[in-house]
Structure 1
Amino acid sequence: MDALVSTEWLAGELGANDLRIVDASWHMPAENRNARAEFEAAHIPGAVFFDIDEIADTSSPLPHMLPSPEKFASRAQALGLGDGSRIVVYDNSDLRSSARAWWMLRVFGAHRVAILDGGFQKWQAEGRPVESGKPVVRHRHFTPWEDRSAVRTLEQMKANLTTKAEQVLDARSASRFAGAEPEPRPGLRAGHIPGARNLPYRQLLAEDGTFKRGEDLRAAFEQAGIDLSRPVVTTCGSGITAAVLAFGLHLLGHDKVALYDGSWTEWGSQPDTPVVTGA
């Protein structure tokens, strides 16, 4: 199974014993959309709903931070995601939030994970089957495990200001990156981490919402000033669209990639973190 699978491929695999389909839709609060309710109204047959806000460290003041390995394993088991499962993640979100679930699953030890190219929008547009209601799930064993090599903390990001060992790539819009537009979350300063580059996540997508591939994808990173031979840390507002950039780098075979989990919600709220404005 490739890291990016087509709707045609998934349609042909529906019902396979080892296949698990996951809807990881997530929306910004201002959109007033209920991802779980939308899932229950219509989803790909056999899919389960991955609640990004609940499968998280809910004790943290920051949104949807990574949970403990034990909590993640418990939630994965309850969703029927077991050791050895082939997992296809999709979303019905303009934010391509399926990439966040893809990244989380890999952090916690699931490596046979793919994203559905074009998501639920493409699936529906092609007239493919959907079902409604809450799925009946058989629990499966998911071994608690964690590899934090793909995760960066606030302290690590501060240290990188000096070492510059890792390139920092911000997935937010150009206007938010420059500090010309206020942040959607209250209490955050506007701007970006010193030395960061900007690559709005939408620039990795073609007009039809599918991912760019090959040289078109590579060019997006290179035009943002990223040296693909060096390590990269991705960041965004709260760790959702940063995962889109991480996934794009994965498609290029570039796996020296980490994600700053707290992202701008953490950095922009600290009293002592330097902030830069302008392009």
Structure 2
Amino acid sequence: MPINIPKDLPAGEILSEENIFTMDEERAKTQDIRPLNILILNLMPEKERTETQLLRLLSNSPLQVNVEFLHTATYESKNVSKSHLQQFYKSFKDIKHQRFDGMIVTGAPIEQLPFEEVVYWEELTEIMEWTKDHVTSVMHICWGAQAALYHHYGIGKYELPQKLTGVFKHRLLQNNIKLARGSDDEFVVPHSRYTSVCEEEILAHDDLILLSSSEEAGPCTILSKDQKHVMITGHIEYDAETLGDEYHRDTNRGLEPHVPVDYFPDNDPEKKPLNRWRSHAYLMFYNWLNYYVYQETPFSWK
């Protein structure tokens, strides 16, 4: 089945070239089925790139998915045009009266700031509170995962000695959880962040399940026992080139970044990296959509 996206969204052309089945809003209105309505709060600076990455992963399902994009009203991104935001995004006041089957909260390059010092923190906490009654299940990615752990479960973050960047091996710690159904016992996930969360605090929390972890990168996939929240501290949505683009960007800025771990072939930044986490990413999104969104949402919201 297709993923329903706004007409003329730039990601649509890219996905079409990849032979991914998309459908614009006009055609979707003729489909006599109950689609899933997914809201994406996109906090990443390169919004168009993140749109494509997430839509690609949401497309691998027999379910029709309607997508709406949300941006913060209290902070305006400097890396995307105003016309793009006006055409394809809504603010919280525009959608707060609606209910959604699922929601994705992306990462943001602000993890070194205390949560309360983030410009849009108050707005984000209002949105996170709103999800309790208006969204069936929420997937939080990277900083979004840290924000959810802090707001919903009181688990803070701590700063790492240096930026954690690279592709790291992870172990599946629970094999009877639907989110991991079909997963390998070991898989790789990209990470790109300056902070982490304490594994012991997650394990000690009565409302949380630690699904996967890495010796080098720490906790990765955390699930609330009520299935309301899926928190992924890595970037399973990243393209093969994303970590490399971040590395070269920082190098050009004179920041002398560390080469991402186990990412470039032969550890050579001039060689093209391979995507070794694609299958795991598709599986996580498919299982989330099926077991935590589709299977749990009433056919008709009251």
- TM-score, length-scaled by structure 2: 0.25
Higher relative strand content:
2
Return the structure number with greater relative CO, CA threshold 8 A, min gap 6: 1
- TM-score, length-scaled by structure 1: 0.26
